[in-house]
Amino acid sequence: MIKQKEYARRRRQLMRMAGEESIIILQAAPARLRNNDVYFPYRQDSDFLYLTGFREHDALLVLLPEEKGGKSILFCRDRDPEREMWDGRMVGLEAAVSEYGMDEAYEIKEAETRLRAMLQDMERIYYDLGRDPMFDQRLIGWLNEFRGEARKTFHAPEEIHALDHMLHDMRVYKSREELSAMRRSAKVAIEAHEIAMQICEPGLNEADVHASLLHTFTRHQCEPSYLPIVGGGANACVLHYISNKDVLNDGDLLLIDAGAEYDGYASDITRTFPVNGKFSSEQRALYDVVLAAQAAAIGKARSGEQWQDVHDAAIHVATEGMIDLGILKGSLEDHLESKGYKQFYIHNTGHWLGLDVHDVGEYTIDGHSRELEPGMVMTIEPGIYIGPEEQSVDECWRGIGIRIEDNIAITPDEPRILTDGLARSAEEVEALMAG
């Protein structure tokens, strides 16, 4: 688990970046209704979680860099025995200080009055507008009020600065503790994929495999980091397929995209394998193209290379492979130039990974592709999808969708594959399924 010391370090770093005479304000994610009086399982806002480790709704964090070494103030609900009879143990004000390392904690009901007073004499507010329109209005309302009064009695902040530039850039670089949480969420996902491969056989339903994935995550006290995709046959060509209810047929491939969330951190793994345990020659040929594209991309996942180099390496190998198999006609140069490969290579080769599956952080800086640096974590997930109705290719390729996705940490030297250990090559996959 991420320790309180680390959350405190993150708050200090953010306060240092914001500078004195700033006030930083963040809100917890609201509880969300699913229907009538049933709520979705609660998930804390990732920025809020990153700075507090606090997992309750109805909370507000205020950071004051100006106070000696910076001051952290949490507004939250106090413990309430009656409420706890229904929902279980709450953190409360006392533990917010003693266990969550806050300097002060107050009832969330007091947040507005206290916050309004804290704003006076501040130079800058760091707060992300647009997430909670009601709160935005209140904040802007106070600033307007202050403008009238301020000239007489106190200095009032003039502007609201976006917080996410600073905070999201911090989140891009993972600490040792974060990498170890991510390795753990990867390990759970590896086990879930292994069991799915082992139980898979013709006649099983996608729902059986889906249930097995959830079983493994839950046993390890993890949640799925997103709804698993379990797509047999041509369902693999539907990129966000989540209905997961069709029968798995002999001779088809099964694409599973599933990851676990541990201590807030996501893994995101895709494997594609034959339902009956043995690739057909066409499936194998196309699988090896995607695998080679992934290997080329992983080879570029090094400090000093650029984000775009990773994608370009995968595209180059995948396009060449599709031309060799007769799936794409024409020359490599023409396809790379015209992006003709996009007919079958539809999505990007990866994304940042962390507290969010599609994690925050810029991919370009000043119009240039971002340079990779140690501590960054990304997915590398090349995919080729040939729809069942695709007339431009030989019939034998139709309805095949293949993606291979792993999670990579950039280090000062070799890329570190957090999802290593899970069968990846066709031989490894067949051996695991036979075993």
Q: What does the binding site for ligand GLY look like in residue numbers (CB under 6 A)?
A: 226, 257, 268, 351, 357, 381, 405
Tell me the C-alpha distance between 192 and 397, whole Å: 29
- Catalytic site residue from 268, 359, 406, 430: 268
Annotate 340-368 with DSSP letters as a single string.
Answer: GGGGT--S-S--B-SSSSS--S-SEETTE
**238 in Cβ contact with 256 (< 8 Å):** no
In the complex with ligand GLY, which residue's Cβ is closer, 320 or 405? Answer: 405
Q: Give CA separation, 107 vs 8, 74, 111, 113, 133, in Å.
A: 21, 9, 7, 11, 22
- Contact partner at residue 171 from Mn ion, ligand GLY, none, CB < 5 to 8 Å by partner kind: none
Residue 405 catalytic? yes
In the complex with ligand GLY, which residue's Cβ is closer, 53 or 383? Answer: 383
Amino acid at 362: E
Residue 351 catalytic? yes
Number of residues lying near Mn ion (CB under 5 A)? 4
- Catalytic site residue from 128, 263, 390, 405: 405
Amino acid at 146: F
**108 in Cβ contact with 62 (< 8 Å):** no
379 binds Mn ion (CB under 5 A): yes
Q: What is the nearest approach in angstroms of ligand GLY to the Cβ of residue 240?
A: 8
Q: What is the nearest approach in angstroms of ligand GLY to the Cβ of residue 189?
A: 11
> In sequence order, what are the residues at sequence separation of 6 or more whose Cβ sits closer than 8 angstroms to the Cβ of residue 389?
398
Tell me the C-alpha distance between 183 and 176, whole Å: 10
In the complex with ligand GLY, which residue's Cβ is closer, 7 or 241? Answer: 241
359 binds Mn ion (CB under 5 A): no
Listed residue (201, 26, 245) closest to 129, CA to CA: 26
Residue 106 catalytic? no
Q: What is the nearest approach in angstroms of ligand GLY to the Cβ of residue 200?
A: 19
Q: What is the nearest approach in angstroms of ligand GLY to the Cβ of residue 41?
A: 18
In the complex with ligand GLY, which residue's Cβ is closer, 191 or 268? Answer: 268
Residue 151 catalytic? no
Q: Which residues are annotated as catalytic?
A: 37, 240, 257, 268, 347, 351, 358, 381, 385, 403, 405
